[in-house]
Structure 1
Amino acid sequence: MSIADTVLRAQRITKQVSSPEGTLTILAEVDLAIAAGETVAIIGASGAGKSTLLALLAGLDEPSSGQVWLNGAELTALNEDGRAAVRARHVGFVFQSFHLVPSLTAIENVMLPLELAGQRNAREAAADVLAKVNLAARREHYPRQLSGGEQQRVAIARAFVTRPALLFADEPTGNLDAATGERIIELLFDLNRAAQTTLVVVTHDPAIARRCGRTIRIDAGRIVPAA
């Protein structure tokens, strides 16, 4: 993989935090590179460092040492405002908790990142992507009026509406029953194929990992060979 093809790269990233027992190392000198258009699963036991790695790769957190580049921008050389600007331009997120704004309707939640970016056609674009996730009839409903699966579909629509270069998903089916989770994953991968987005998904579900083109296993803060 050449540097030109690489949309996400981490070099020797380490994350340490203070604890009553002393310094705790959550991640230790992790190197990885992800090419444009790849689908990558990050797997490992609870507490292995998966979500911490995703947060560092997305610029939601800063490593104690090491460097991260996202779509050509060195996140580790930027302050929080700079990292937020890179995320707004290039990144979409889908979380286990849906993170919808309860006072906004479905379409307003999807419009939000477009409006923050100053795009004029936010309502039309949001309506289009809500139709793609089969929620056109529910677009004026508030999150409390939607099922868990419908709320996650709104969150997926919001993630894709900005046409991100990268989509990060952290346990996207963790709060859903098995049948609903399966439908959500089908939808996520279908939209991802259509948009040709790079997908990085943290999961404990082997079925989700198998759908990805590559699997990265984290154990005790280090990348180890995938089983």
Structure 2
Amino acid sequence: MIKVEKLSKTVPSGDGELRILKGIDLEIKAGQSAAIVGPSGSGKSTLLGLLAGLDSPSEGDVLLQGQSLASMSEDQRAALRARSVGFVFQSFQLLPSLTALENVMLPLELAGMEAPRQRASTLLEELELGHRQHHYPRLLSGGEQQRVAIARAFASEPAILFADEPTGNLDAKTGAHITELLFSLNRDKGTTLVLVTHEQGLADHCERVFEMYDGELSELPRQRPC
């Protein structure tokens, strides 16, 4: 499902070049859940963006569902994301001029899926947001906005869901609810789930845990059964 080969990312810096990722290899099977942990600045979010095709590596390649991102144009990568990938951002990134319902409908409409309004409304109902679907993001709490973002990411039933610090902006109670929601949707839909998180409790829910340190990735032994 996800295969990474010798992935590196280098960017210009005041001292020349900064190597953020250093020849990473990674393979995650379909339906698995995986967490990427590590200190701030270690390259976690950069790796997640590369896995989703939101950025391009300096070296190496990412294969999603057997397709090489390096061989694709930006338009082709965007089409693959629309077809197979969902992404939950830490900052939600809901469009402020659209209601919760319209935010969830948008990827369905862009993908040309049938009955986008009905599909979006049903998903918001499942996430206990039916009574809030006609509200704008500014009128929603942080937890509600995150649930809308998750609904949007799941709306087209992607094969892969990437989530960058999905509980990072939330209080403990709401974060626990979002964690339960992510993994219940993962189990019910069979979606491959890849998370970046600082929350150990969230990482513990995953089948596999990887640690990023100084641009290098290693898999950690599981501390307890999933």
Q: TM-score, normalised by structure 2?
A: 0.96
User: Does structure 2 conserve the Cα–Cα contact (< 8 Å) formed by 1:100 and 1:155?
Assistant: yes
d(CA) in 1 for partners of 2:110 and 2:119? 14
Q: 1:148, CA displacement in angstroms?
A: 0.6
2:135 maps to 1:147:
no
User: Does structure 1 conserve the Cα–Cα contact (< 8 Å) formed by 2:208 and 2:219?
Assistant: no
* 1:4-19 map, 5 Å: 7-19=1-13
Q: 1:224, CA displacement in angstroms?
A: 2.8
2:164 maps to 1:164:
no
Residue of 169, 175, 185 corresponding to 1:191: 185
Runs of 4+ aligned residues of structure 1 deviating over 4 Å after TM superposition are: none
**What is the DSSP-based 3-state SS (H/G/I as helix, E as strand, rest coil) of the residue aligned with 1:109?**
helix
Q: 1:170, CA displacement in angstroms?
A: 0.2
Instruction: Name the residue aligned to 1:177.
Output: 171
Task: Identify if the C-alpha distance between structure 1 residues 20 and 186 changes in structure 2 by more than 3 Å, giving closer, same or farther.
Answer: same
Instruction: Name the residue aligned to 1:75.
Output: 69
Q: How many residues are treated as equivalent by the alignment?
A: 221
Residue of 81, 85, 96 corresponding to 1:102: 96
d(CA) in 2 for partners of 1:225 and 1:199? 16
User: Does structure 2 conserve the Cα–Cα contact (< 8 Å) formed by 1:148 and 1:175?
Assistant: yes
d(CA) in 2 for partners of 1:148 and 1:101? 14
d(CA) in 2 for partners of 1:74 and 1:139? 37
Matched to 1:156, the amino acid is I
Q: Give the aligned CA root-mean-square deviation in angstroms.
A: 0.9
Instruction: Name the residue aligned to 1:3.
Output: none
Instruction: Name the residue aligned to 1:46.
Output: 40
User: Does structure 2 conserve the Cα–Cα contact (< 8 Å) formed by 1:73 and 1:86?
Assistant: no
Residue of 24, 42, 64 corresponding to 1:30: 24
Matched to 2:147, the amino acid is R
Q: 1:226, CA displacement in angstroms?
A: 2.1
d(CA) in 2 for partners of 1:132 and 1:191? 10
User: What are the superposed Cα offsets for residues 120-142 of structure 1, whole Å, 9 maximum, x if unpaired?
Assistant: 31001001110110001111111
Matched to 1:193, the amino acid is R
d(CA) in 1 for partners of 2:219 and 2:118? 45
2:212 maps to 1:218:
yes
* 1:199-218 map, 5 Å: 199-218=193-212
User: Does structure 1 conserve the Cα–Cα contact (< 8 Å) formed by 2:7 and 2:22?
Assistant: yes
Instruction: Name the residue aligned to 1:121.
Output: 115
Mark the runs of 5 or more structure 1 residues left unpaired by the alignment.
Answer: 1-6
**What is the DSSP-based 3-state SS (H/G/I as helix, E as strand, rest coil) of the residue aligned with 1:76?**
coil
d(CA) in 2 for partners of 1:222 and 1:42? 11
Q: 1:177, CA displacement in angstroms?
A: 1.1
Matched to 1:127, the amino acid is S
**What is the DSSP-based 3-state SS (H/G/I as helix, E as strand, rest coil) of the residue aligned with 2:61?**
strand
